[in-house]
Chains A and B, each alone.
Chain A
């Protein structure tokens, strides 16, 4: 554990730790382009130069390992001058048309220019290098070589994280540019991370480009519900619209996230979205829906029909608890089933889980707590209540079903649900961590929170539930971050 001195402060470094990391841990920010905490050190941008006593040249903080007794200056005159010069070099061939660039607001060139630059350009406009302007690269990315500063973060990402080696630096000197292996193309499932880590406007997201300036957006922390991995995410939204999703890097689950997860928000305003409940081809508002379903269920109970309720690995713990309540306390049926999920494992070695349901582990705990049977013991029932995504895979006659859904489909009785961008819910991911989604946008008027729906139907049956979700969840065996 070497002791070093940075800007007059005595700090203790871990063995083998770089100066940049020691500083970062202690709140001293060192500017950087090529350095990224989750990628190997390239040391090529030269922005993180610092002064170290007894070393004649400035050293890159990202690649210099802290050793006993080092005296480091991160903000001396010499250092500031060097950074200003590096910034000038970076900008001479960079287009200076920020107003029409999508990176504005999260551009490292802009940010550092205000800290270190503020020098009039000494480079003649007509001498600027011209490179290929925007072009589509893969399904989700747009690449503008002229804006690129060749930090090689994207190249290292494709070499080290996805290991697909799609990107490389072609040519050399100031003719160098990022290129794509012709036989490969950018086809990996994590390509949008490249737009995130690109410190400038070279790689941008085709989906997000020019939809909104980032400084107009608010971010809300939530989780991705597209598979059992349950990545932590940031949802960027404004005026009741979601514009993009980015990962919220954490040591427990994810640094990155997959492209499918990022596109998941599209269901909110998709043309497939079920905005009204649909029963036998007629759209109903909320009040009418509750009435219709009540009529159907009470008639079934009077006729002594057998009603089954199927829990869903796709729905939150709260919603599943209310389904159990509906079955036990309202419909008084013993037929409650759960569905076994796929085996849980990270199928690509990065993040994507072979179990596509976000809450299998939460349901497993409920199954244990309430002694619920597996669907394999399912016989024939007269009415089946469940979630559309589950039931569509089972061989059950559609006429018998009452289904909750976000999506339109041909099933005769569909109750419109809020998505987990529109309501809160608790999920337990494959590692056993309990995490919550967050409501970031308002739902369409006639969609339900599942537990509100159960509540209202119960009221018509003259049953008055008092859900104690917090209490029940507290009793479940889950892990919390930090454990």
Chain B
């Protein structure tokens, strides 16, 4: 079952003829609290990676008359993740409508879309979408004569992965360096410009209008009990049909691989899967064949659903090299605030490049694992964890490939 990507609803006319902007009409007849309750009932969980219940997040916003903000996190930059881009291309109005509903629910009159700097075309699409919505009276003052005002500003990033972390994103909108803030205070009490702020992922907000139309109850019956709804997976790797798929949560990986991705490419065997974007622990082919694609099943398997950026790794890929490429990314993207992350990402990267070129001894593999362990959970934001988890899982599950590099006998990358 598809919801968000069911049809291509690129412009406002097709969006409206397919029932677009009915959700906001419905929401405006309800009280803000009952909109929040409806979202709570749907069991929608944040699609950005952490999976925090959306309705609960909205309910943390103080119910007073102070200035509040809705921020849409469109800084999609996790390696392997490209699902939000697809929504922007195919159904941009659902994001805008989701934001208006969120704004109405929490009492915000101002929204920001923080969009990744490299998303040039996508930023243009969003700008055009906002323009169309404004022209049709869905944005601006006194929306649909309800007395509710809401406006959206697009802010473009400058190319830092860390700005996808919600508080770094807020800093960036405020014009500062993108460095995560200490929590608490959480954005729900002190967010953008020190005001209560809700920050949601593109996919989360895009699902909101459908929840309003369908009703929370009905939405919650899609998928599994604690993992309700549909989820987008962006799949890359040696499969026959890579791309973005919207599936009901709870689908088995085996089914997904065979019937959606149409199996592995000829001559390549599945070796490992990174299910939810590069920051989550890797699982082996055997483990992957037993999991279902939902929050609980993946967590039981020792990994996470994350953002749904699925990286399929075939047996023609050296795991040490794959990890080296990841480490290079995190080393480049660490903001440099916290000691363990700033120094640890660099250390891991340097050590991995030595392991890769066979300049190390066996004890260096243990050292690699230990550095990752020492970084884990000791920083302000989860960027350090996002490198630790892959490192620890790669070393634990594919130790033999690291050993081969020490011996200089890796037959895959011929080093």
Contacts and interface: CB of A to CB of B under 8 A. Distances in A.
Contacts of A58: 377-378
Contact of A43 (B182, B331, B344): B182
A309 B166 CA distance: 71
B336 A169 contact: yes
Contacts of B378: 46, 49, 57-58, 82, 85-86
Given A174-B336, A175-B336, A57 B377 contact: yes
B322 interface: no
Contact of A173 (B177, B335, B350, B377): B335
Interface in B160-205: 160, 162, 177, 182, 184
Interface string A77-97: 000001001101110110000
B303 interface: no
B338 A46 contact: yes
A123 B349 CA distance: 12
A46 B339 contact: yes
Nearest to A84: B374
B77 to A, nearest CB: 14
B352 to A, nearest CB: 12
Interface residues of B, number: 28
Contact of B336 (A41, A60, A89, A171): A171
A19 interface: no
A92 B380 contact: no
B343 A89 contact: yes
B374 A85 contact: yes
Contacts of A150: 336-337, 339, 342
B407 interface: no
A235 to B, nearest CB: 35
Chain A contact patch, size range? 35 or more
A45 interface: yes
Given A46-B378, A57-B378, A174 B342 contact: yes
Q: Specify the main secondary structure of chain A where it touches its partner.
A: loop
A44 interface: yes
A363 B160 CA distance: 62
Contact of A169 (B177, B182, B339, B374): B177
A129 interface: yes
Interface in A148-206: 149-150, 169, 171-176
B377 A127 contact: no
Nearest to B359: A124
Nearest to A177: B336
A122 interface: yes
Query: Which of B335, B339, B345 counts the most chain A CB atoms within 10 A?
Result: B339
Interface string B323-357: 00000000111111111101111110010000000
Given A43-B182, A46-B378, A127-B350, A173 B334 contact: yes
B336 A46 contact: no
Contacts of A43: 182, 380
B380 to A, nearest CB: 6
Given A169-B177, A174-B346, A89 B331 contact: no
A250 to B, nearest CB: 29
Contact of B339 (A57, A89, A175): A89
Contacts of B350: 124, 127
Given A44-B380, A46-B379, A89-B374, A173 B342 contact: yes
A63 interface: yes
B343 A93 contact: yes
A43 B183 CA distance: 10
B350 to A, nearest CB: 5
B334 A44 contact: no
Interface in B372-399: 374, 377-380
A89 B374 CA distance: 9
B367 interface: yes
A92 B347 contact: yes
A117 B397 CA distance: 31
A172 B160 contact: yes
A172 B336 contact: yes
7 contacts: A44-B337, A56-B377, A89-B343, A173-B335, A173-B336, A174-B331, A174-B336
Interface of B: 160, 162, 177, 182, 184, 331-340, 342-347, 350, 367, 374, 377-380
Closest 5 CB pairs of A and B: A176-B336, A89-B343, A174-B346, A85-B374, A173-B334
